[in-house]
Amino acid sequence: MKNERSKNKETVLLYETDGMLSEFDAVVIRSGTDEESGRSYVILDRTAFFPEGGGQQADTGILAAPDGRQTAVTDVRTEDGSVRHYIDGAIAEGVKVTGRTDAKQRFARMQNHGAEHLLSGLIHDRFGYNNVGFHMSDEGAVFDVDGPLDDDDINDIESRANDIIYENVPITISFPTPEEARKMNYRSKLDIYDDIRLVTIEGYDVCACCAPHLSSTGQIGIVKITDHMPWRGGTRLTMIAGRSAYMDYAALCASNHEIMELLSAKRYKTAEFVRLDIERRNALKEENTILRKDLTDAIAANILDSIRNSGNDCHGARIIWENRLDNVGLRNLVNECTKEYGGIVCAFDGNDREGYKYIFAVCPDNAETADLKGFADDFNKACGAKGGGSNIMIQGSTRSKAAAINEYFNERAWQND
């Protein structure tokens, strides 16, 4: 990773040589308040708290005073050349404290970071691609390489990385001089040789990095690439390792177990059962579409018979109460009715408890004389409805009950079905 080491001269960075160190003694050499955020902070003469950098988040934890009082460390940043420990509270200068990092959090992050180094090193060695972006969260990490990788490439790299984890290869830290660094081959986002800190996975990767690391690949536990995609001419990879991978696997197992019970499927057959279930659902959906069309045609035929018997020259409002069709079926029904009815067709679907949806429509040939929008505006005002559309079809809804809707039409002597 990029060399983002703190340039401070006040604080000894204990995490640089021992990533596993989680407790240490220190002295507060300065305290203050951040001008922008208003957060209180202290600067220590030595620290195991890692300030955010190199793609890894800052450590959190506590600072304990000799009298037992504890102050939470909520964030750590390098500001103006100093390592600031942002705290909930205040600690005076000169006070001796015992710092305790959140060791569980730190270890999980080092697992993900170490796995990213290993994968990036293997990709660089095999394909010559560089790591050009890295972001880590407590759920895993995302990193970008500047070349294409296919499924087989990803699987091979992942398998090799896990073999190296099982080999428990040492991970070491070194601080070469500029002269030594110029003679070495290591990964870095910048051409830098001064003040270098190198993280070496012996035999597999050497990378400039500012973050704390594990002492061997075995501590990574396992690494899994969960997703990959083309990204700006290269490849973006999403990965999880160690405890994060365990938590992910536990969640997947719980989800898979629920699917097993729902489908009565064996552990490794859930995908096959889901695929078959989708196929069955699609077949039923097609059958349902056909049946709904047949139902719409049958209902339309019955209503059209009624319209024909009443005379095609009728131009009043024809009301249809219909709860058997979906919205598409109801629209189709209305369209069929307007082909043979000269007036406005008013279809309602719903119930008194949840309200009613409506579709008002008229044959396009009668649009100018029907004044559908004026008709709908009058209905909306009288029945507390809302809706909108064109001069041939308007859709809306109302909370009025069926009796009130019928009363509205009866008062205007419009025809009901």
> Per-residue pLDDT for 169 more than 50?
yes
The token pair at 208 is 């400039």
Q: Indicate the range of 264-268, 298-302, 315-319, 386-390 predicted with least confidence.
A: 315-319
In this structure, which amino acid lies at residue 265? A
Q: How confident is the model at residue 355 (pLDDT cuts 50, 70, 90)?
A: very high
pLDDT tens-digit readout, 179-211: 999 999 999 877 778 889 999 999 999 999 999
Q: Is residue 417 predicted with pLDDT exceeding 50?
A: no
Query: 402-412 as b/e, with b when 16 or more CB fall inside 10 Å?
Result: eeebeebbeee
List, in sequence order, the alpha helices (H) in 189-269.
Answer: 242-263
- pLDDT, average across residues 257-261: 96
pLDDT for 21-31, tens place per residue? Answer: 999 999 999 99
Average pLDDT over residues 141-148: 97
Q: Average pLDDT for residues 116-137, to the nearest whole number?
A: 96
The pLDDT tens digits of the residues spanning 88-122 come to 999 999 999 999 999 999 999 999 999 999 999 99
**Edge to edge, what strands does the sheet with 317-321 contain?**
317-321, 344-351, 355-361, 393-398, 385-389
CA 127, CA 22: separation in Å to the nearest integer?
A: 37
Q: Over 90: is that where the pLDDT of 308 sits? A: no
Half-sphere exposure of 16 (CA within 13 A, CB side): 21
pLDDT tens digits along 75-93: 999 988 899 999 999 999 9
Residue among 184, 229, 230, 224 at smallest CA distance from 207: 184
Average pLDDT over residues 339-366: 93
Token digits for 53?
């950098």
C-beta separation of 341 from 363 below 8 A: yes
Give the Cα separation of 200 and 209 in Å (integer). 10
Question: Per mean pLDDT, which of 51-60, 146-155, 326-335 is the most reliable?
Answer: 146-155
**47-68 mean pLDDT:** 93
Tell me the pLDDT band of 334, cut-offs 50, 70 and 90. very high
Please report which confidence band the pLDDT of residue 416 belongs to, taking 50, 70 and 90 as the band edges. Answer: very low
* Region 159-170 average pLDDT: 98
What pLDDT, in 10s, does the model give residues 383-406? 999 999 999 999 999 999 999 999
Q: Across the chain, what does the average pLDDT equal? A: 92
Residue 248 has pLDDT above 80, yes or no: yes
Tell me the mean pLDDT in the region 275-303.
Answer: 92
- pLDDT for 2 beyond 50: no
